[in-house]
């Protein structure tokens, strides 16, 4: 199996983003079905599972811990801290004391004595990044986490963090229709020897034929609040999807596999973590690791779907305020 490096481990370049088993998209599966998905992922050769304290407000970590407690040595485990809830109120909190409390909750829920890769989920603009990284460095020294990661942060913050303690991974949305990492973060990760972990690599299901009519999504679905799916932008974006699907069919691969192969083509330090609650999609996605696209195909994709051809920003203005990744002018 082809592997790439993450937090000191050789992993399948296609990891499993576990969020949709508990949170955000559609109706989450029952816990017993989620457990079956996790076991199937390991049986298929997934070696990197990604979760967060946020997902299902702890339910996702609990699911993984309960389902896979007998298979802990078979995968690299990544989780995240820094988004806290007080009742219905959400806040970003990366103060050292909060981090220390969060990791203990995660370790308990995951039924493990260590987390291989632990991210700050978002930038806390009230707490210097150096203080947050210092707290995580102490957890590395204590053996509670194996490596430090950042999520949705800028190249400048990555450099500041890396100066305190090596940062093993930066996780950010990246796909054909979300190109922000190309401004600076993707290259900075390569320079610093930091893995780049792409979440939503199939564009929140769009490049897996997972969305045709946003109005048919359940009321709680995260995509209903995102501008690219609104009545103004979606008709244009759906035309791009149809042309993309035609290209995938001409290559005799699925649209999801084409999207994932494109992401992996962006550098040997890039890892993709598509999420799904479907066994068929789980099986489909993992096969993308063996697909190598020609330069001609990559050029056609880059011309078809890019920041100029996609309609609408990826987040609403309110959501964007919590994101520190660089924005195109």
Give pLDDT tens digits for 137-167: 999 999 999 999 999 999 999 999 999 999 9
Cα separation of 28 and 261, whole Å?
27
Could you report the per-residue pLDDT of 311-329, keeping only the tens digit for each? 999 998 888 888 999 999 8
Token pair listed for 218: 């359940």
Average pLDDT over residues 218-228: 93
Question: Given this model, what pLDDT does residue 317 score?
Answer: 87
Cα separation of 151 and 211, whole Å?
26
**Is the per-residue pLDDT at 249 higher than 80?**
yes
For residue 88, the surrounding DSSP H or E stretch is: none
pLDDT above 70 covers a percentage of the chain that reads 100
Average pLDDT over residues 99-107: 98
Question: Given this model, what pLDDT does residue 142 score?
Answer: 98
Dihedral in degrees, nearest 10, Cα atoms 132, 62, 10, 280:
-130
Question: Given this model, what pLDDT does residue 52 score?
Answer: 97
Return the closest-CA partner of residue 248 out of 211, 278, 206. 206
Length of the chain: 329
pLDDT-derived band of residue 41, with 50, 70 and 90 as boundaries? very high
Cα separation of 329 and 236, whole Å?
22
Domain coordinates of the chain in residue numbers? Answer: 4-204+266-291
Task: Choose between 322 and 76: higher pLDDT.
Answer: 76
Question: Given this model, what pLDDT does residue 318 score?
Answer: 85
Could you report the per-residue pLDDT of 281-302, keeping only the tens digit for each? 999 999 999 999 999 999 999 9
**Is the per-residue pLDDT at 1 higher than 80?**
no
**Mean pLDDT score of the chain, rounded to an integer?**
96
b vs e for 149-171, b when ≥16 Cβ sit within 10 Å of the residue's Cβ?
Answer: bbbbbbbebbebbbebbebbbbb
DSSP conformation letters of 238-249? HHHHHHHHHHHH
Q: What is the largest CA-CA distance in the chain?
A: 54
Point out the catalytic residue in the list 25, 55, 75, 174. Answer: 55
Could you report the per-residue pLDDT of 162-212, keeping only the tens digit for each? 999 999 999 999 999 999 999 999 999 999 999 999 999 999 999 999 999
Return the closest-CA partner of residue 103 out of 88, 87, 90, 118. 118
Lowest mean per-residue pLDDT among 64-78, 87-101, 136-150, 233-247: 87-101
Average pLDDT over residues 243-248: 98
Catalytic residue at 55?
yes
Domain 4-204+266-291 is found in CATH 3.40.50.1980: no
**Is the per-residue pLDDT at 262 higher than 90?**
yes
Question: Given this model, what pLDDT does residue 24 score?
Answer: 86
pTM (2 decimals)? 0.97
**Is the per-residue pLDDT at 87 higher than 80?**
no
Question: Given this model, what pLDDT does residue 137 score?
Answer: 98
Q: Would you call 204 helix, strand, or coil by DSSP? A: coil
pLDDT-derived band of residue 218, with 50, 70 and 90 as boundaries? very high
Q: Residues with Cβ < 8 Å from 320, sequence gap 6 or more? A: 313, 327
Question: Given this model, what pLDDT does residue 18 score?
Answer: 97
Average pLDDT over residues 116-142: 98
């Amino acid at each position: 199996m082809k592997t790439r490096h993450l937090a000191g481990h050789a992993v399948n370049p296609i990891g499993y983003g576990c969020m949709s088993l508990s949170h955000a998209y559609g109706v989450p599966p029952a816990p017993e079905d989620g457990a079956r998905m996790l076991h199937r992922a390991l049986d298929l050769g997934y070696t990197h599972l990604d979760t967060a304290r946020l997902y299902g407000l702890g339910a996702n970590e609990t699911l993984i811990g309960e389902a896979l407690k007998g298979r802990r040595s078979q995968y690299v485990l990544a989780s995240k801290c820094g988004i806290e809830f007080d009742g219905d109120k959400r806040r970003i909190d990366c103060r050292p004391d909060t981090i220390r409390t969060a990791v203990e909750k995660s370790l308990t829920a995951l039924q493990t004595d260590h987390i291989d890769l632990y991210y700050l989920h978002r930038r806390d603009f009230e707490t210097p990044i150096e203080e947050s990284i210092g707290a995580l460095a102490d957890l590395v020294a204590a053996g509670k986490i194996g490596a430090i990661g950042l999520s949705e942060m800028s190249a400048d913050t990555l450099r500041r963090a890396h100066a305190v303690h090596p940062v093993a991974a930066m996780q950010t949305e990246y796909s054909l229709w979300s190109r922000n990492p190309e401004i600076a973060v993707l290259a900075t990760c390569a320079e610093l020897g930091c893995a780049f972990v792409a979440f939503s690599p199939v564009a929140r299901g769009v490049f897996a034929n997972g969305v045709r009519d946003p109005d048919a999504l359940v009321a709680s679905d995260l995509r209903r609040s995102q501008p690219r799916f609104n009545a103004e932008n979606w008709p244009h974006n759906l035309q791009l999807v149809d042309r993309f699907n035609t290209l995938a069919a001409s290559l005799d691969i699925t649209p999801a596999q084409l999207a994932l192969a494109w992401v992996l083509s962006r550098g040997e330090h890039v890892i993709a973590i598509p999420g799904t609650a479907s066994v068929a999609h789980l099986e489909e996605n993992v096969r993308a690791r063996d697909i190598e696209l020609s330069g001609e195909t990559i050029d056609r994709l880059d011309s078809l779907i890019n920041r100029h051809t996609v309609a609408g920003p990826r987040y609403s203005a309110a959501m964007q305020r919590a994101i520190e990744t660089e924005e195109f002018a």
